[in-house]
Amino acid sequence: MFRRYLFLITLTLAGCTKFVEVAEPIDQIPSNVVFDDDTKAAAAVRGLYSVMISALYAPFGGSLSVCPGLASDELITTSTLVDFTDFQNNAISTSNSKSGSSIWGNLYTTIYQANAVLQGLENSPNVTPAAKLWIGGEAHFCRALYYFYLVNLYGPVPMPLTTDYTTNTYLPRTSIDSVYNLIISDLQTAQGSLDNNYTATGNRVRPNKWAATALLARVYLYRQQWQAAIEQSTAVINSGYYALEPLNNVFLNAGKENILQLVSPGTNLYTWDAYVFVNLKAHLASNSLLNSFEEGDNRKTSWLSKVTISNATYYAPYKYKVSLGTGTAKTENTTLLRLGEQYLIRAEAYAHAGNIASASADLDSIRHRAGLPLMMEGITQQALLDTILHERRIELFSELGHRWLDVKRSGKADAIFGAVKSGWTSTDILFPLPLTDIQRDPNLTQNEGYN
């Protein structure tokens, strides 16, 4: 099923720079990657990020923000393209290019590249142990991040761990538990391999130990391992590397709230999200989202922009202020992980663990920045959990599918989405696997509701 992704990896690894020594047919090239030295190994790991943000509607080029946002209750689309209306109507075709190629295909392409990097490090005696450590750490981090989105959007998924075409062609779906076990293992390896500091001078655009820790905190929250989520998020919060920023500074690349960002290609493009939301005005905030802001919440004025379309007023996500630059240094990059989420992770984990006071204190850190009153004393555990779900909706809207994933894991999708989405059914909570892969792999089964 993965032949096309294997071919893309071959092109990516062979095309960036001549660091691949090949002695076998083309369909086996990735299993024989050999890095001549540290520089060429480092060049390979850079490709783990470029595919994900290299084009409009690549996973971090808008797809992971837009598609789950449309499928949930936070975005509406102005587009008539079926690729987007499918998501808004929760009627995603198995041939939908955004679900099939932009998300599924690109995620697997990059997972294959991560596998190739890891195998290449094992095959390369000329790469120093120090370089193998941090390059391997980045590859493990990226593989964990990309599997995180696959398992949460599609459920059980094939889990290739090598670049062996004969092994991977007919892989069945792997259980959610097994995929999460790999994600946790990869992130723990990354924690032990990456430095506290960032390797990219001046920007936080390559993962460090704290990026791995932040993602691990999220994973433990999703797995309902409350104490582990508390420990990991606390480590990030107390690391001394990060601080909550004023609302208009949160997404600046110089801001201390950023834990990990990606750089968009070229010199004129700042972020794809800004291009989609600000320039194209292709996807707008839903009334459901707009009506969820409390009176006096400064995030509504700082993070939304009024737009007029056909004499009607709408609001577009405006977290990223600039989409197209003038050739000067970029001030914004695409944010993957930030400190605000870590406070919300810890608040939710504290609440589930019964520590109401600590959960309220973390929630107050976010609410205070937004200009909102502090939490009331004496709040019940369930009321606090409901408040945290609401706060996550407001704080993290239009950021890489958080709302969709939060409601999904809460078990309240039918109640929440069913109330505002006509035609909603329980099986809509997972995206369909691409029809071409189902047809190619007899061991691959489709998600319920898409046959």
CATH (domain of 83): 1.25.40.390
Asked if residue 432 belongs to a domain, the reply is no
Contact, 234 vs 220, CB < 8 A? no
Instruction: Kindly state the average pLDDT of the residues 320-341.
Output: 86
Kindly give, in sequence order, each residue whose CB lies less than 8 Å from that of residue 377, ignoring residues fewer than 6 positions away: none
- Whether 40 and 119 share a structural domain: yes
Contact, 115 vs 163, CB < 8 A? yes
Helical axes 129-154 vs 176-193, angle rounded to 10°: 150
Helix H or strand E segment including 172: none
Asked if residue 445 belongs to a domain, the reply is no
- The pair of three-digit structure tokens given for residue 6, joined into one six-digit string: 């294997």
Nearest of 31, 182, 46, 181 to residue 118 by alpha carbon: 31
Q: How far is it, in rounded angstroms, from Cα 18 to Cα 338? A: 36
Tell me: pLDDT of 166 over 90: no
Asked if residue 430 belongs to a domain, the reply is no
Instruction: Kindly state the average pLDDT of the residues 22-40.
Output: 58
Asked if residue 442 belongs to a domain, the reply is no
Radius of gyration of the chain (CA): 21
Q: How far is it, in rounded angstroms, from Cα 228 to Cα 216? A: 9
Tell me: pLDDT of 326 over 70: no
- Whether 104 and 250 share a structural domain: no
- Whether 190 and 210 share a structural domain: no
Question: Partners of 284 in the beta sheet?
Answer: 76
Q: How far is it, in rounded angstroms, from Cα 394 to Cα 403? A: 9
- Whether 158 and 234 share a structural domain: no
Tell me: pLDDT of 375 over 80: yes
Single-letter amino acid code for the residue at 398: S
Asked if residue 447 belongs to a domain, the reply is no
Q: How far is it, in rounded angstroms, from Cα 207 to Cα 195? A: 9
- Whether 119 and 143 share a structural domain: yes
- Whether 111 and 67 share a structural domain: yes
User: DSSP of 247-294, one letter per residue?
Assistant: GGGTTBTT-TTEEEEEPPSSSSB--HHHIIIIIS--EEE-HHHHTTSP
- Whether 139 and 217 share a structural domain: no
User: How many distinct structural domains can be found in the chain?
Assistant: 2
Asked if residue 429 belongs to a domain, the reply is no
Q: What was the pLDDT predicted at 322? A: 85
Q: Give the helix ranges, DSSP H, for 194-255.
A: 209-222, 226-237
Tell me: pLDDT of 26 over 50: no
Q: What was the pLDDT predicted at 287? A: 98
Tell me: pLDDT of 33 over 80: no
- In the three-class reduction of DSSP (H, G, I as helix; E, B as strand; rest coil), residue 174 is classed as strand
Domain end: 166, 194, 222, which one?
Answer: 194
Instruction: Kindly state the average pLDDT of the residues 276-300.
Output: 96
- Whether 213 and 231 share a structural domain: yes
The CA distances from residue 137 to 37, 45, 79, 198, 225, in Å, are: 17, 10, 40, 13, 24
Domain end: 147, 174, 194, which one?
Answer: 194
Among 44-48, 299-303, 436-440, the range scoring the smallest mean pLDDT is 44-48
Contact, 362 vs 391, CB < 8 A? no
Q: How many residues does the chain have?
A: 451
- In the three-class reduction of DSSP (H, G, I as helix; E, B as strand; rest coil), residue 434 is classed as coil
Q: What was the pLDDT predicted at 54? A: 85
Tell me: pLDDT of 25 over 60: no
Asked if residue 438 belongs to a domain, the reply is no
Q: What was the pLDDT predicted at 203? A: 86
Tell me: pLDDT of 5 over 90: no
Enter the pTM of the model. 0.93
- Whether 188 and 317 share a structural domain: no
Helix H or strand E segment including 75: strand 75-77
Residue ranges making up the domain that contains 278: 201-417
Q: How far is it, in rounded angstroms, from Cα 117 to Cα 100? A: 24
Contact, 13 vs 33, CB < 8 A? yes
Q: What is the tens place of the pLDDT at every residue in 98-155?
A: 999 999 999 999 999 999 999 999 999 999 999 999 999 999 999 999 999 999 999 9
Confidence of residue 3 (pLDDT cuts 50, 70, 90): very low
Nearest of 451, 424, 446 to residue 71 by alpha carbon: 424
Among 123-127, 284-288, 395-399, the range scoring the smallest mean pLDDT is 123-127
Domain end: 194, 221, 245, which one?
Answer: 194
- Whether 181 and 208 share a structural domain: no
Tell me: pLDDT of 335 over 90: yes
Q: How far is it, in rounded angstroms, from Cα 319 to Cα 303? A: 5
Asked if residue 441 belongs to a domain, the reply is no
- Whether 279 and 341 share a structural domain: yes
Nearest of 326, 367, 327, 374 to residue 344 by alpha carbon: 367
- Whether 59 and 28 share a structural domain: yes
Tell me: pLDDT of 414 over 50: yes
Question: Partners of 77 in the beta sheet?
Answer: 283
Vertex 222 angle, CA 234 and 217, to 5°: 20
pLDDT, the chain, mean: 91
